[in-house]
Amino acid sequence: MKHFHFSGVYLYEYVSIKHKEINKPRVKMKGLTRKEELIMLSILNLRSDAYLVAITDHLSRITGHAITLTSVHLPLTRLERTGWIASELGEATAVRGGRRKKVYRLTKAGLRALGEHKRIDDALWAAYPDLSEQGG
């Protein structure tokens, strides 16, 4: 490791190098977490209304649990950095004080990853009868 003196120039170079490493797009993600899967499915369900608050509200309704904005925002950031979702700014509205919503959509890579996740889940669940018939 190169020795850095903490003068203005050397410190700046060190911070820039670290900043670039941290913000590098990931090439491959190990797999979807359950929360990421639910977020991606919510984006599919909400279509053009898939912004942070709507996704959070949708997940709260579906799961029956209170979901925080932060617990959705962090995975959204990870999924976008991975290239499985993309975002664009929607129109400004008076209700939001002229601010624009960040609307999310799945990319082709995200659809493939979600489809693969479903294929694996379906294969694993295929060996079991409907659990609702067993009172489960």
Domain boundaries, the chain: 29-124
Distance CA 25, CA 61 (A): 32
Can you give the C-alpha Rg of the chain in angstroms?
A: 20
Q: Report CA dihedral (55, 60, 32, 45) to the nearest 10 degrees.
A: -50
Provide the pLDDT for residue 128: 85
pLDDT tens column, 93-110: 777 677 889 999 999 999
Domain made up of 29-124: CATH architecture: Orthogonal Bundle (1.10)
Give the C-alpha separation, 38 to 114, whole Å. Answer: 10
Instruction: Look at the pTM and tell me if it is higher than 0.75.
Output: no
Residues of the chain under the 70 pLDDT cut: 1-30, 96, 132-136
Catalogue the long-range contacts made by 62-70 (C-beta closer than 8 Å, 24 or more residues apart).
62/38, 63/38
